[in-house]
Amino acid sequence: MIPRIALDAMSGDHGPAIVISAALDILSRQKDLHLILVGDTAVIKRILGSPSAKIMQRLSIQHATQCVEMDELPSRALRGKKDSSMRVAIDLVKQNKADACVSAGNTGALMAIARHVLKTLSGIDRPAIITALPNMQDTHTHVLDLGANIDVTAEHLLQFGIMGTVLTQAVHNISNPSIGLLNIGQEEIKGNERVKQAAKLLEASAVINYYGFVEGDDIFKGTVDVVVCDGFVGNVFIKTAEGVAQMISYSINKHFNQNLFTRLSALISLPVIKNLRQEIDPRQYNGASLLGLRGIVIKSHGAADVLSFICAIKEAIIEVQQNVPSQISQQLDTLLSQKRDVE
Amino acid sequence: MIPRIALDAMSGDHGPAIVISAALDILSRQKDLHLILVGDTAVIKRILGSPSAKIMQRLSIQHATQCVEMDELPSRALRGKKDSSMRVAIDLVKQNKADACVSAGNTGALMAIARHVLKTLSGIDRPAIITALPNMQDTHTHVLDLGANIDVTAEHLLQFGIMGTVLTQAVHNISNPSIGLLNIGQEEIKGNERVKQAAKLLEASAVINYYGFVEGDDIFKGTVDVVVCDGFVGNVFIKTAEGVAQMISYSINKHFNQNLFTRLSALISLPVIKNLRQEIDPRQYNGASLLGLRGIVIKSHGAADVLSFICAIKEAIIEVQQNVPSQISQQLDTLLSQKRDVE
C-alpha cells in the first residue's frame, strides 16, 4: 500500500510555495508515495507549474476555499471554517481518502478540528501533543502532553505513557524507551496525589519501561527517552523553556554590544541560541504528533522551510507505515486485558 | 527598636568564614543592628578573631552543636538535628530572641524546620517560597510558590497573591504591584477549574492589583511584578529554567570549541550565561523569602559570597522594619472582613 498524505497547502507563515516545493522534492525522490495538496486549486496550479507526468501521477489537488489564519481562535476556526484547507485535509483522513495529514498551520485550531473530526481512539479519553526536544546527550527527549489537556487523571498519564512508548519505538527506533513522570524533587513533597497514583499505574504496566520521577531539568539532561506530564505543566514547561532562551539572547545581546570584540563574539553565539530556540519554540513544533486520534495528524513549523516540511511529511509516512494509531490501540488492549487478569 | 538577626553560621557551601565576614562588614557600616551568630562557639570565635568593642557590643554567639548538610533529607534534618545551627537560629525567632533569621543552608530543611517551629500565620494554610528572577525589562519578576506546596486550592493561590503583594510593596518598593496568575494560553483550554476559580477570587479582591493570566515566558518578559502559581508548577518552572540555561551553555561550549576565535568568543558569552544561571538556579535562591510563617526566614545562596550574604541580611532587616508577617496578617484580615461584608 502506498501512503497517501494530505498536505494543508495554504497554512503556515509562508503559505503554499513552501508546501508545494516540499511536495515536489519528496515525490521526485520517493516513488512509493501519493500526496494530496489541499487548498485553492488556482493558486496551487499556478505555483505547481508543469511537473513531469511521472510526478503528476502521484500528486492530486483537493480544492478548499478557506484558510485558517495563524492567530485565529481555534473555536472560530472549528465552527466557521468548514471549507478550510486544514479542515478538508483532516476530512480526507476521516473519509479514508488519505492515510495522514500534515499542516504547518495554527496548532490550537489543528488540535480542535482533528479531535472534532477524527475522534479519539477507544480507551483514549484525550489526545496529546508530543514533540522532541534537544538534550545534553545529543539525542532528543520526547515530552507529552504539551497543552492539549489540562485536567487529567492518573489514568490519562498512564495513557500518555503508552502513547509515548509506541511513538518513540515505532517512529524513532528507540527500543524499550524509558518513561519518566515529571514531578518535583523535594523529599517533603513527593508530588500530588495524581502523580503518586500515576506512578503506581506506570510501575505496574507491563508495556511500559518506567524509570520513575524526573524533574524539569532532566528533560534537557536526557535522563529518559519520554517525559509524561499533564498539559498544564507541559505547556508551562515549553513556554518557560522558550522564555529563558529568549532572556539569554537578550542578556548576551546587551552585554555584547559593548565593543567590537564582543559584537564579533555575538555573531557566533547568537545563532547557536537561535537554533536552539527554534527547536524549543512552542509555536514552531516541527513534526509534532497529535496522538490518541483515530488518524494521523502531524504539525509542521509555522515558519517551516522546505527541508522542515519534508521532515514533517517523512514523520507522517513512518507513522502510516507503522500504523501508530493501531499500535496505540493494541497496547491499550493489552493493558486492559492485564487489568482483567488481575481482577 | 534595633533589628536582631540570627545568622545560621555553619550552613552553606562555604561555612562560617563567609557568614562571619558578612556579619562583621555589615555591623561596621550599619549601627542600628544586632547580629547573633549561631553555631559552634569555638569555630566561630577562632574565625571572628578580635573585632572592636563597638562591634562586639552588637554581636553575640549562640552555641549549636550540629549542622544540617546541604544534601541532607529535610525530614531527617527536622527529626534528627534539633541542635543544628539552622534549628537553633529558627528557635531564636520563635522565642522572640531574634526578629529574623538568615541561612545559606539546605532549602528543603529550612522550610521544613521553619514551618514546624514557627507555624503559619492565621489565615495562611501553607507557607510559600518567593524569589526574584531577572527579566527583559531589566527589573525582576517575583514568583511564588516555588515548591513549598503542591496540592493547593484557589484560596491558597489568592493567599499567595496577597503575600506577593505585601512583600513586593514593603520590601521592594513596588507601589501597587501587578499580580499575574500563571496559566496556559490556548483558547480551547482556559486553565483548570482551580485556576479559573482563583482568577475570580483575585479579580474580586480589593487588596490585589490583578492583571490576569500570564504564561511561562511572561515571567522573563516582565509582564507583571508578581506571578502566582502552585508549588508543583513553580518547581517545574524553576528547574526547567535552570535546565534550559545549562543546555544553552552546553551547546555554546560544544560549538565554540571549534577554533581559536570561537573559543575566545566563548570566554565572553559563557560568563554572561553563568551569571544568569546563578540568578535562576533553584539551589541558589539569594534572599528568597519563606512567606506565610509567624516569623521572618530568609534563604541565602548556598554558594553565596560575602556580598550575597550581606544582601540576604539586608532583606531580613527590611522585612523586620516593615514587619512583613504582620502586614500579611492585616491584609488577610481586610480580605476576610470584605468577605463578611459581602455575605
| pLDDT tens digits, one per residue of A66-95 | 999 988 888 899 999 999 999 999 999 999
Domain holding A78: CATH number?
Answer: 3.40.718.10
Q: Are residues B312 and B275 located together in one domain of the fold? A: no
The residue-averaged pLDDT of A214-219 equals 91
- The burial class, CB within 10 Å (0-12 / 13-18 / 19+), for A260 is exposed
Residue B273 in this model has a pLDDT that exceeds 80: no
Per the DSSP assignment, residues forming a β-bridge with B143 are B131, B227
**Higher-confidence position of B177 and A333:** B177
Record: contact A134-B247, CB cut-off 8 A: yes
Q: Are residues A299 and A278 located together in one domain of the fold? A: no
Record: contact B220-A232, CB cut-off 8 A: no
All residues at 6 or more sequence positions from B260 whose CB lies less than 8 Å from its CB, including other chains: none
How near does any CA of chain A get to the CA of B77, in Å? 11
Which of A252-261, B48-57, B327-336 is predicted least confidently?
A: A252-261
Other CB atoms closer than 10 Å to residue A264's CB: what's the count? 14
3-state SS class at A151: coil
Residue A193 in this model has a pLDDT that exceeds 60: yes
User: In this structure, are residues B195 and B218 in contact, taking their beta carbons and an 8 Å threshold?
Assistant: no
- Measured between CA atoms, the residue of chain A closest to residue B258 is A268
User: In this structure, are residues B107 and B131 in contact, taking their beta carbons and an 8 Å threshold?
Assistant: no
Place of cell 498544564: A232
Residue B15 at interface with chain A, using a CB cutoff of 8 Å: no
Other CB atoms closer than 10 Å to residue B121's CB: what's the count? 20
Q: Are residues A148 and A268 located together in one domain of the fold? A: yes
pLDDT of residue A334: 78
Taking only residues 314 to 343 of chain B, the set having a beta carbon closer than 8 angstroms to any beta carbon of chain A reads none
User: In this structure, are residues A296 and A319 in contact, taking their beta carbons and an 8 Å threshold?
Assistant: yes
A248: nearest CB among B74, B192, B248: B248
The residue-averaged pLDDT of A109-128 equals 91
B265: nearest CB among A237, A248, A265: A265
The residue-averaged pLDDT of B7-31 equals 93
pLDDT of residue B96: 97
Which of A265-269, B3-7, B13-17, B188-192 is predicted least confidently?
A: B188-192
pLDDT of residue B116: 95
Place of cell 501553607: B126
User: In this structure, are residues B87 and B115 in contact, taking their beta carbons and an 8 Å threshold?
Assistant: no
**Average pLDDT value over all residues in chain B:** 87
Nearest to A272 by CA among A143, A134, A141: A134
Nearest to A133 by CA among A240, A278, A268, A317: A278
All residues at 6 or more sequence positions from B96 whose CB lies less than 8 Å from its CB, including other chains: none
Q: Are residues B204 and B315 located together in one domain of the fold? A: no
Report the relative pairing of strands A288-291 and A296-299 from DSSP bridges: antiparallel
Question: Which among B285, B310, B332 is the end of a domain?
Answer: B285
3-state SS class at A40: coil
Q: Are residues B180 and B315 located together in one domain of the fold? A: no
Domain residues for B93?
1-124+292-343
The residue-averaged pLDDT of A92-119 equals 94
- The burial class, CB within 10 Å (0-12 / 13-18 / 19+), for A322 is middle
B184: nearest CB among A150, A217, A241: A150
Please tell me the total number of residues recorded for chain A in this structure: 343
The residue-averaged pLDDT of B202-217 equals 91
Residue B326 in this model has a pLDDT that exceeds 60: yes
Q: Are residues B322 and B188 located together in one domain of the fold? A: no
How far is the CA of A153 from the CAs of A158, A238, A274, in angstroms?
9, 21, 36
**Higher-confidence position of B144 and A307:** B144
Q: Are residues A18 and A163 located together in one domain of the fold? A: no
Task: Place A206 in a pLDDT band, splitting at 50, 70 and 90.
Answer: confident
User: In this structure, are residues B218 and B224 in contact, taking their beta carbons and an 8 Å threshold?
Assistant: yes
Record: contact A251-B272, CB cut-off 8 A: yes
Nearest to B33 by CA among B5, B8, B74, B75: B5
pLDDT of residue A165: 93
The residue-averaged pLDDT of B134-145 equals 91
pLDDT of residue B187: 52
Residue A184 at interface with chain B, using a CB cutoff of 8 Å: yes
What is the DSSP secondary-structure string of A67-120?
---TTS-HHHHHHH-TTBHHHHHHHHHHTTS-SEEEE-S-HHHHHHHHHHHH-B
Task: Summarize pLDDT for A270-322 with one digit per residue, the tens.
Answer: 777 777 666 666 555 567 899 999 999 998 877 678 888 998 999 999 999 99
Q: Are residues A327 and A180 located together in one domain of the fold? A: no
d(CA B101, CA B78): 17
d(CA A273, CA A39): 35
For the CA atoms of A7, A11, A17, A22, the dihedral, rounded to the nearest 10 degrees, stands at -40
Residues of A in contact with B272 (CB under 8 A): 248, 251-252, 255-256
Task: Place A45 in a pLDDT band, splitting at 50, 70 and 90.
Answer: very high
Q: Are residues A110 and A174 located together in one domain of the fold? A: no
Q: Are residues A158 and A190 located together in one domain of the fold? A: yes
Q: Are residues B151 and B261 located together in one domain of the fold? A: yes
Per the DSSP assignment, residues forming a β-bridge with A63 are A39
Task: Place B284 in a pLDDT band, splitting at 50, 70 and 90.
Answer: low
Residue B341 in this model has a pLDDT that exceeds 70: no
Question: Which among A259, A285, A311 is the end of a domain?
Answer: A285
Strand order in the sheet with B296-299: B59-63, B34-39, B4-8, B100-103, B296-299, B288-291, B128-134, B140-144, B226-228, B178-182, B209-214
How far is the CA of B280 from the CAs of A247, A332, B131, in angstroms?
11, 41, 9
Residue B70 in this model has a pLDDT that exceeds 90: no
Residue B218 at interface with chain A, using a CB cutoff of 8 Å: yes
**Higher-confidence position of A157 and A283:** A157
User: In this structure, are residues A47 and A20 in contact, taking their beta carbons and an 8 Å threshold?
Assistant: yes
pLDDT of residue A190: 63
Phi, then psi, of A6 in degrees rounded to 5: -85, 130
Question: Which among A285, A305, A320 is the end of a domain?
Answer: A285
Most B-contacting residue of A259, A269, A274 (CB-CB within 10 A), to test interface:
A269
How near does any CA of chain A get to the CA of B20, in Å? 29
A74: nearest CB among B188, B215, B268: B188
Residues of B in contact with A265 (CB under 8 A): 264-265, 268-269
Residue B130 at interface with chain A, using a CB cutoff of 8 Å: no
**Average pLDDT value over all residues in chain A:** 88
Number of domains, chain A: 2
**Higher-confidence position of A114 and A106:** A114
d(CA B142, CA A139): 34
Most B-contacting residue of A69, A72, A79, A184 (CB-CB within 10 A), to test interface:
A184
Measured N-to-C along each axis, helices B260-280 and A231-256 cross at an angle, to the nearest 10 degrees, of: 130
- The share of chain A scoring above pLDDT 70, in percent, equals 90
Q: Report how far Cα B119 is from the mean position of its chain's Cα atoms.
A: 17
The residue-averaged pLDDT of B67-88 equals 92
ipTM above 0.95, yes or no: no
Residue A341 in this model has a pLDDT that exceeds 70: no
Strand order in the sheet with A209-214: A59-63, A34-39, A4-8, A100-103, A296-299, A288-291, A128-134, A140-144, A226-228, A178-182, A209-214
Record: contact A220-B186, CB cut-off 8 A: no
Residue A213 at interface with chain B, using a CB cutoff of 8 Å: no
What is the DSSP secondary-structure string of B8-33?
E-S-STTTHHHHHHHHHHHHHH-SS-
Nearest to A211 by CA among A182, A184, A235, A234: A182
Taking only residues 249 to 268 of chain A, the set having a beta carbon closer than 8 angstroms to any beta carbon of chain B reads 250-252, 255-256, 261-262, 264-266, 268
User: In this structure, are residues A50 and A339 in contact, taking their beta carbons and an 8 Å threshold?
Assistant: no
Residue A343 in this model has a pLDDT that exceeds 70: no
Q: Are residues A70 and A96 located together in one domain of the fold? A: yes
The residue-averaged pLDDT of B145-152 equals 82
Which of A186-190, B138-142, B245-249, B253-257 is predicted least confidently?
A: A186-190
Record: contact B136-A246, CB cut-off 8 A: yes
Taking only residues 296 to 315 of chain A, the set having a beta carbon closer than 8 angstroms to any beta carbon of chain B reads none
The residue-averaged pLDDT of B117-141 equals 90
Residues of A in contact with B192 (CB under 8 A): 150-151, 232
pLDDT of residue B103: 95
The residue-averaged pLDDT of B155-167 equals 93
Residue B70 at interface with chain A, using a CB cutoff of 8 Å: no
